[in-house]
Amino acid sequence: MDTLTHIVVGGCIGQAFMGKQLGKRAMALGAVAQSIPDIDFIAATWSDASENLLAHRGFTHSLLFLAIITPLLALISEKWHRPHNISLKSWLWFFGIQGLIHIFLDGFNVYGVGWLEPFSHQRFSFNTMFVADPFFSIWPAIAFTALMISSRNDKRRTLWWVTGLLACFSYLFYTVYDKMYIDSTVKKMLTKQQVAYNDYFSTPTPLNNWLWYIVLKQKDGYSIGYRSVFDTARTIRLQYFSRNDSLLAPMSGNESVQHLLRFSKGYYTVEKWGDTLVFNDLRFGQIIGWTNPEERFVFHFYLSLPRDNKLVLQRGRFDKWDERVARALWHRIFHD
C-alpha cells in the first residue's frame, strides 16, 4: 500500500493497543512502527534500478525480518520508556502486529511481497487492490484525523479507531469478492468465445476496485482486456501484444535482464522505441488503457539506457492523466 495508508492504519492500531497508556503518542509510535518495513528504500542508494525492484518489498517484508526486528524494538521501547506500566510482552505484540499487518496489506497489491526471503525468492500477491485505493484509505484516515483532534479523555476515541479499522478491512474483503466475481465471469466468457490461453492474470485499474485489467498469457504473446463488475456485455474485447522475447537474445546474459525476468513472473513484452530496447512488465497495467487498448504499458524499463530508469514504476502510473481521462475511467466503470 502507499505510505500514507500505512501511517494512518498504524496510528489507529497504535491507539487500539496503547492509547490508554500513552495517549496520542501511541498513534505516532504506531505510524512509525507500521512504516518500518519500508526502510528498504535505502537499497536504492547502492543498487541499480533492476536490483532495487527485487530489494523493494523483499527481505524487510519477510517473516524472518519481523522475527528479528520485533524483539529488538520491543526491548528498546521497554527500556527507553521507563517508568511505565507496559510489559515487554505488550511491546512484542504491538510491534509484531504492526509489522504483520504491513506485509499482509502489501500482499494485496500487484508488486508482490517476499514473505519467505531469503530462503525463497517467491513473491506473494493477491492482486485485489491498486497500490493506492482511496476507498480503502479514507476510513482509517478519517479515524486518524478524529483521534488527533479529539482530547485524550474523549469517550468516542474507541469508536473512532474501531470504525476506521473495521471499515477498511471490510473493504479489503470486498475486494477479494470483486476479484473472485471478475475471474469467474471472465473465464466463463473466454470459454464461450473459445479463447485459448496458458495463464490468466487480473488486477484493478487505478484508484478503484470496479474496473479490472485482464491479461491472458498465450503461446507467443498476451491478450489484454478490461471488465467492470457492472458490465452486462456477454463478451470481452481483447487486444493482442506479441512477447517479442527474441529481442532479448543479444542480452541473455545481462544481469538486469535476469532481474527483470524474475521480477515480471513471465508477464512481459519487449519492444523497440526507436533505438531504445524496452522491457515491459504487463502486471502493472497500461497507461490509460481503458481509453486506448493499444496504449503503452505503465512499467517500461529502458534496457538500452539503464541510467534512465529512476522511478520506473511511478513515471508511467499516471502518465497522460487529466480531467478527461479521469472522467473516461469513471464512465467506463459504469458503462460497457
* Phi, psi (deg, nearest 5) at residue 97: -65, -40
DSSP string, 43-72: GGGTS-HHHHHHHTTSGGGSHHHHHHHHHH
Give the whole-angstrom CA distance, residue 30 versus residue 7.
Answer: 8
What's the pTM?
Answer: 0.94
Counting residues of the chain whose pLDDT is more than 90, the rounded percentage is 86
pLDDT (mean) for 296-316: 87
Average pLDDT estimate for 262-286: 96
DSSP one-letter code for 123: P
* Average pLDDT score, the chain: 95
164-219 tens-digit pLDDT: 999 999 999 999 999 999 999 999 999 999 999 999 999 999 999 999 999 999 99
Say if residue 336's pLDDT is above 90.
Answer: no
Least Cα distance to 283 among 262, 304, 303, 302 occurs for 262
Positions of E strands within 124-169: none
Which helix (H) or strand (E) is 272 found in, with range? strand 268-273
Yes or no: say if 114 and 62 are a contact pair by the CB < 8 Å rule: yes
The C-alpha cell of 260 is what?
A: 527483470
